[in-house]
C-alpha cells in the first residue's frame, strides 16, 4: 500500500475551516450527543473508562445492570475486585479496567468526599483517567468545555486539515486554538457523529459528505 500523504496545516486556514464546517455539522446533526448512558458524573466516569477498546453499545449493555448494583463511589471502592471483573468482562481488558475503576473510586472517596471532582487537574489524579476521559466527564457531566479526542476526532481532524497531530494530547491543544472554547464539547460530538455516519476509517463517503467542499482530502484516497 502506498504511503499516504500528509496535509500541510496552516493554523489560520484551519480556524477558517472550522468556522465553515461548524454551522453545517450543527444543522446536519442537531441531536449530536455522547452515546454513553449515564445519570451523574460517576456513571459517566465509569462508562468512559469501560469504553476504551469497546463499543458504546456494549458499555451501555453492561452498565445497565452495574449501575443498579453499584450506586456510589463507596460501593465501587468497597466492592470485591473479582466481582467487578466479572461484571465488566465483556468490555475487554477487564482486569485493568476493574483495577482502575476501584482505584479511581477509592481516591474519590478518600480525597473528594465521594464526589467526582470537576477540574482537569483533579480528574487526572484518578487511576485510569487521562485527558480524553477527563474532557468527556467535564464536558458532558459538568458542562465545562472539553475536547474529547477519540479515534474519530483524530481521523477527521487530519483529513480536514485541522491538525497534523495524531497524538490525542497534542491534537487537543491544536483544536483548542482554532475552535471557540464555548463549542469544544459540542464540536467533539459533531465530529464523532460525522465520523460514524459519513467519514469512516476505511472508505469515507465523500459523495454524500455535507462538508466535503471544505475538506482538503475529499475524494482523494492518497490522503485518507
Please list the active-site residues.
Answer: 132, 150
CA-based angle 178:150:123, to the nearest 5?
Answer: 90
Residue 1 CB coordination number (10 Å):
3
Four-CA torsion 29, 63, 45, 93, nearest 10 degrees: -100
Q: What is the CA radius of gyration of the chain?
A: 19
d(CA 80, CA 134): 25
- Sequence-distant (6+) residues with CB within 8 A of 116 are 41, 42, 45, 73, 108, 123, 137, 141
110 class by beta-carbon count within 10 Å (0-12 exposed, 13-18 middle, 19+ buried): exposed
Amino acid at each position: 500500500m502506498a504511503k499516504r500523504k500528509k496535509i500541510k496545516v496552516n493554523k489560520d486556514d484551519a480556524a477558517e475551516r472550522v468556522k465553515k464546517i461548524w454551522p453545517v455539522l450543527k444543522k446536519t446533526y442537531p441531536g449530536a450527543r455522547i452515546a454513553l448512558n449515564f445519570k451523574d458524573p460517576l456513571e459517566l466516569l465509569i462508562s468512559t473508562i469501560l469504553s476504551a477498546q469497546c463499543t458504546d453499545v456494549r458499555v451501555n449493555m453492561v452498565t445497565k445492570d452495574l449501575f443498579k448494583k453499584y450506586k456510589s463511589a463507596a460501593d465501587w471502592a468497597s466492592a470485591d475486585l473479582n466481582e467487578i471483573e466479572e461484571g465488566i468482562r465483556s468490555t475487554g481488558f477487564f482486569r485493568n479496567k476493574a483495577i482502575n475503576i476501584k482505584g479511581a473510586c477509592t481516591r474519590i472517596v478518600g480525597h473528594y468526599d465521594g464526589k467526582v471532582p470537576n477540574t482537569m487537574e483533579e480528574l487526572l489524579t484518578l487511576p485510569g483517567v487521562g485527558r480524553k476521559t477527563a474532557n468527556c466527564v467535564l464536558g458532558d457531566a459538568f458542562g465545562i468545555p472539553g475536547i474529547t479526542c477519540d479515534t474519530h476526532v483524530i481521523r477527521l481532524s487530519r483529513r480536514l486539515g485541522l491538525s497534523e497531530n495524531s497524538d490525542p494530547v497534542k491534537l487537543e491543544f491544536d483544536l483548542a486554538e482554532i475552535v471557540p472554547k464555548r463549542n469544544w464539547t459540542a464540536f467533539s460530538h459533531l465530529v464523532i457523529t460525522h465520523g460514524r455516519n459519513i467519514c469512516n476509517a476505511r472508505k469515507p463517503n465523500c459523495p454524500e459528505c455535507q462538508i466535503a467542499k471544505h475538506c482538503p482530502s475529499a475524494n482523494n484516497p492518497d490522503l485518507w
